[in-house]
Amino acid sequence: MPLSFVAPVIALPVANIYRHPDPAAEVVTQALLNVPAAIIETVETAEMEQGRAGWAHIRLSDYEGWLPLGELAEAAPAQEWLATILAPRTPIYASAEGEETVGRAYATTVLPATTRPATGRVPVRLPGGGEGWLNAADIALRGASEPAPERGPEAALALARQLLRTPYLWGGCTVEGIDCSGLTQLCCRAAGVIIPRDADQQYEGIRYIVERGDLQAGDLIYFARDGAITHTALMLDARRYIHAKGGPENMVMVNALVPGETGYNETLAGRYAGARRPFVRRARRMLV
C-alpha cells in the first residue's frame, strides 16, 4: 500500500502536481522522476474503492500539492554513483545495447548508477525496483556522497538555448512545456545552483542583487505588474534575455532590454523590477 512507502519518490518521467486532488484542478508545478515526495495525507476516491489509487497530498523540497497515488513508488536502493541528466530529454534503455526503451528522463533528473563506464551506456536503478540504461553522453556522474558541483552560468545558458521554442506551459519544467520560473529554476539547477520555484520567491529568496547597468550573462531579471513580481528571465548577455513567454508567442524565446536591439520588448522593459545573481561568486551586493 502507498502509505507503507519508506521513501516515496515520483515514479513518472514528469508528474503534474495539482492544487487540489482533482485532475481538472490547476497544475501548480511538475516534479521529475525520482524526486522525493513526502506524503502528508491521502484521500480516497470512488476509483480507490474500486481497487485503483486515490490521491496523495505531498511535500516536495520546494512545493506542496496533490498527485495520484499511483504516480509514487519506493525509491531505488542507494548506489555508489549518481547520474544527473544533462540533455533536455533522454531515453532510458532496457539494456546496454539495442533500442528498446523503458521510459525517458528530463534534464536535472538524478538516478542512482551502479557503475561508471566512460562511454556507451550507464546502468541505473529506477523507482519501484526497475532498472535501465542511460547514454553516457547525456549524463554527468558523481559519487553518491559528493554534492552536485556548481558548473557556472555557462551551463545554465547552454540548457536554456537547447530549450528555445519549447512550448509555454503553466507549471511546466521540461522540454515538453515550461513556464518562466520553471525555466530559470531548471537552468540554475542544471548548473548546480538551487533557487526557489516561483518568480516572486526567487526575487525575495536570492540574496545577491544586481543593478540594471551591471547585468551580465547568467543573471536573472524580474518584471512586475501593479507592484507584484509576475515574470522572470535569464540574461544571455548584458542586453538580451531568454524566457518562457506566455501569449501570444507561448514559447521559450529571446528578447532584448535595450531599445534598438533585435527583439526589444517595450512592454516588458517598462515592467522591469530588478535583477538577482544566483551564481554567488560573481555577486557584488547582497540583500540583508
> 185-198, pLDDT tens digit by residue?
999 999 999 999 99
Which residue in the block uniquely carries the three cell numbers 512507502?
5
Cα(188)–Cα(150) distance, integer angstroms: 9
Note the pLDDT tens digit of each residue in 87-136.
Answer: 999 999 999 999 999 999 999 999 999 988 778 999 999 999 999 999 99
* Residue 140: closest CA among 114, 122, 127: 122
d(CA 285, CA 282) in angstroms, rounded, equals 10
The percent of the chain in helix, strand and coil, each rounded to the nearest 5, is: 20, 40, 40
Rounded to whole angstroms, how far apart are CA atoms 60 and 9? 10
Query: For residues 165 and 176, is the Cβ–Cβ distance under 8 A?
Result: no
Q: What is the pLDDT of residue 283?
A: 41
User: What is the residue-averaged pLDDT of the chain?
Assistant: 93
Nearest CA-CA partner of 14 in 33, 27, 28: 33
Contact 55, 21 (CB under 8 A): yes
- Determine the Cα–Cα distance for residues 88 and 183; give it in Å rounded to an integer: 12
Cell of 201: 520567491
What confidence tens digit (pLDDT) does each residue in 220-239 have? 999 999 999 999 999 999 99
Q: Grid coordinates representing 108?
A: 536535472
- Give me the pLDDT at residue 183, please: 98
Q: Where are the domains of the chain?
A: 2-73, 81-143, 153-286
Architecture of domain 2-73: Roll (2.30)
CATH topology for the 81-143 domain: SH3 type barrels. (2.30.30)
H or E element, residue 49: helix 46-49
| pLDDT (average), residues 16-22 | 96
Q: Do domains 81-143 and 153-286 have the same CATH topology?
A: no
Q: Which residues contact 19 (CB under 8 A, 6 or more apart)?
A: 25, 26, 27, 28, 65, 66
Q: How many CB atoms lie within 10 A of CB 278?
A: 26
Contact between 124 and 118 under an 8 Å Cβ cutoff? The reply is no
Q: Which CATH number fits domain 153-286: 3.90.1720.10, 3.40.640.10, 3.40.50.970, 3.30.160.100?
A: 3.90.1720.10
143: which strand partners? 81
Q: What is the mean pLDDT of residues 171-182?
A: 98
